Structure 1
Amino acid sequence: MTDSREAAFRAWVLEHRTRLRTTAFLLCGDWYLADDLVQDALGRLYSRWERVVAGGDPRAYVHRILCNLNTDYRRRPARREISEADVATLGSHPNTSIDERDDDLIAALLAIPVGQRTVLVLRFFEDLSIEQTANLLKTSSGNVKSQTSRGLEALRSRLRARPAKTEGAA
């Protein structure tokens, strides 16, 4: 890669990495895994940077990689094991822009099925259209619509079912 193209890649990464990390967290629910997913995705993007930029906006390509990496991670049984020492850190969110007040929403989002969560994150956090989401996930627009509808209902149900916070409770 030439110096100017590498500089363009670095500039793109600096502009988008925080949002990519948040997207990855919303997909997987673990900040440390989100860091790994973003790092892997950026490594794959780097190796194809010229071709991806020539084809348009790299964001769609990176979103597809993040979704694929998250799916791949969940499918591998050995990766699903969590040591006892790690369990306490799953809920923490180091160095992030997500507010503590969003914890209930994030907990509800992470409790719904992965397919629905993926569609909701892409549609509402990444602000992709139905068609863009369908293209990215290589599925039909109808499937995206039904997953969106089911995901929103599951999210509402989880939020209604959560215990009410009392004033002064820590």
Structure 2
Amino acid sequence: MAAPPEGAAGATNQVMKVRYADVDDSNFALHGRAVPLLAGLLALALVALVAACLYLNWACNRRHRRHRADLEATAAAAVLPGLDADAINALPVTLYSPTRSNERNDGGGEEEQAAEAECSICISALVAGEKVKALPPCGHRFHPGCVDDWLRSHPSCPLCRTTLLPVTSAKQDAC
């Protein structure tokens, strides 16, 4: 014989009904040492929360100060003015003569010679006999008009970023 389907008459579905009046509240009562222990745990949690907040505040302020110092240093580096007209005109202008690989002692390759044979500002070839301006600290050569425009707004070599400004030490400034 087949089992009667659920919900049909004669099925044994029992629904459990709980009356809240039947719940005993004595399980939730605090007796003896429980009150001071609970108060101590609450105080400990509060102290831990305050300590965590103070640490996070300190860490965020430290990071913010470091970030602000980095921004100020970057801004100070970006504000460096270019060279004045006298300093730009004082740079030597010579006639370009390409170096030959058999004259070189340092073993420079063809790529290095090709880089030396062009003005890296306008990306055009330097022609033998053409006027070029060589920067003293690094020796990189450029067309005078190209490098003069660059040096009016930047105090460094456009290729290697070597500074052309005179170095002043902090000790000399303090005296």
**TM-score strictly above 0.5:** no
- The structure where strand makes up a greater share of residues is 2
TM-score (norm 2): 0.22
Higher relative contact order (CA 8 A, sep 6+): 1
- The structure where helix makes up a greater share of residues is 1
Report the structure number with the largest CA radius of gyration: 2
